[in-house]
Amino acid sequence: MMRVGVLFMREVLCFTCKKQSTNYIEILGKYICESCQQEILTLSPGDYGYDHFHNEIKILWEEYLECLIKNQVINHG
């Protein structure tokens, strides 16, 4: 009997904790594992670690904007 629809989760490197994970979300081409997602959700401003995550997301966002700007430059010749 053949089984179809089996999901092959691919292992990715988490952007924030740098660990391999098959349970992740993708944001702007970077991966954030589930445990980091949970940590981000439970962190509040002032907590140790909040600044770290905030900073990582900021870096991610800046890279994304940089990409957009570069693409625009290329498009405009």
Decide: is 31 part of the binding site for Zn ion (CB under 5 A). Answer: no
Which secondary-structure segment (H or E) carries 21? Answer: strand 20-21
The smaller minimum CB distance to Zn ion, of residues 17 and 27, is found at: 17
Looking up tokens 């089984």 gives: 3
- 50-55 — which CB contacts under 8 Å span 24+ positions? 52/16, 53/16
Q: Per CB under 5 A, does 57 bind Zn ion?
A: no
- From the list 5-13, 36-44, 46-54, 58-66, the region that binds Zn ion by CB under 5 A is 36-44
Q: Shortest approach of Zn ion to residue 66 CB, angstroms?
A: 23
Residue 7 has φ and ψ, to the nearest 5°, of -90, 130
The footprint of Zn ion (CB under 5 A) covers 14, 16-17, 33, 36
